[in-house]
Amino acid sequence: MEDSRIALPIGTALDRFIKRKQDEFQYASGELSQLLRDIALSGKVVNREINKAGLINIAGPIGTENIQGEEQQKLDVLANIRFTRALTKGGEAAALISEEDEDVTDLNNNGKYVIAIDPLDGSSNIDVNVSIGTIFSVYRRKSPIGTPITKEDVLQKGSEQVAAGYLLYGSSTMLVYTTGHGVNGFTFEASLGEYFLSHPDMCIPKNGKMYSINEGSYNSFPQPVKDYVEHCKSSNLSGRYIGSLVADFHRNLLKGGIYIYPQTASSPNGKLRLMYECNALAFIAEQAGGKASTGIERILDIEPKEYHQRVPLFIGSTNMVEKAESFFKS
């Protein structure tokens, strides 16, 4: 069947794009659109703060640890405050869980949505001017509007996401998101203070020439992962590992490739968090024609048990992820 959706041209402003997309859905109330605008706006504020990090005293550790015992950076905490504040003011979100907070933050009982967010991913790169990102997932709450948020509202499978995206603070700042109808990328034009459509209908190549994994931990990888890494080497693939998930994922999305964070001795369940990092990127990967799994199981099918749950992640070009999975089967 022919797709009746209107393709919007490169250069379309984000606000206009969101409005036009909303008009395509007869019963859309506009709340999800407003939520996306709130996130995009907070992204501008965080972007501004990251850009001046070297000039004022906001880079570096703050002297505290998050719930997972990881050192918090000043910008981690600042980004968390910015996103929480914008979502509180917006009113569309009932609650938020964040990599930086121990528990759920209640926002507005009358809100329809629940947000999971990693406000600033790749924190160890903040001080050294390497790309970092924000990752977010949006779920529709299950309990009736106006009642207190329940654990079931928050602990939903990735397949229940209604939207997901990331902001990449890199050589240019980008917002990439999906509402389940393909993936679109917007570049932030700082002098105009606006995001413009730069990457319409993003599709990840089925194969790629790059693999991204922290090979320093090779000795503690499970045997199937070691086998896959050897396969990549013997296939003359290039190793590319920034150590900033959003940046590694974004490059692979554009050029084709696989990103892997497996189980290791220091992270027996993998390092990355299902609710804050893996689900959002898995939704985007699938919407772009790619794949995401734990090596064994589809990421979006995992029933979450706790907010800060970690899982191994294999994500990117379909053929590469399937090849990696084949080593677990054999």
Q: What does the binding site for ligand AHM look like in residue numbers (CB under 6 A)?
A: 70, 99, 118, 121-123, 214, 243-245, 271
Q: C-beta of 267: minimal distance to ligand AHM in Å? A: 7
Q: C-beta of 132: minimal distance to Mg ion in Å? A: 9
Return the one option of Mg ion, ligand AHM, none that residue 97 interacts with (CB less than 5 to 8 A, by type).
none
When CB distances to Mg ion are compared, the closest residue is 121
* Whether 59 contacts 76, CB under 8 Å: no
Q: Strand 173-178 vs strand 183-189: parallel, antiparallel, or unpaired?
A: antiparallel
Q: Going by C-beta distance under 8 Å and a sequence separation of 6 or more, which residues neighbour residue 286? A: 292, 300
What are the beta bridge partners of residue 199? 185
Tokens of 187: 């570049």
Q: Report the amino acid identity of residue 151.
A: K
Binding residues (CB under 5 A) for Mg ion: these are 118, 121
Q: C-beta of 213: minimal distance to ligand AHM in Å? A: 8
Return the one option of ligand AHM, Mg ion, none that residue 70 interacts with (CB less than 5 to 8 A, by type).
ligand AHM
Return the one option of ligand AHM, Mg ion, none that residue 271 interacts with (CB less than 5 to 8 A, by type).
ligand AHM
Q: C-beta of 246: minimal distance to Mg ion in Å? A: 9
Q: Going by C-beta distance under 8 Å and a sequence separation of 6 or more, which residues neighbour residue 187? A: 172, 173, 174, 195, 196, 198, 199
Rounded Cα distance between 96 and 179, Å, is 18
Closer by beta carbon to Mg ion, 121 or else 153: 121
Rounded Cα distance between 89 and 45, Å, is 15
Q: C-beta of 293: minimal distance to ligand AHM in Å? A: 17
Return the one option of Mg ion, ligand AHM, none that residue 295 interacts with (CB less than 5 to 8 A, by type).
none
The residue written with tokens 């990888």 in the block is 221
* Whether 283 contacts 136, CB under 8 Å: no
Closer by beta carbon to Mg ion, 133 or else 290: 133
Closer by beta carbon to Mg ion, 198 or else 252: 252
Closer by beta carbon to ligand AHM, 70 or else 201: 70
- Sheet-wide strand order for 210-212: 238-239, 210-212, 258-261, 313-316, 291-293
Closer by beta carbon to ligand AHM, 92 or else 118: 118
Closer by beta carbon to ligand AHM, 122 or else 208: 122
Q: C-beta of 219: minimal distance to ligand AHM in Å? A: 14
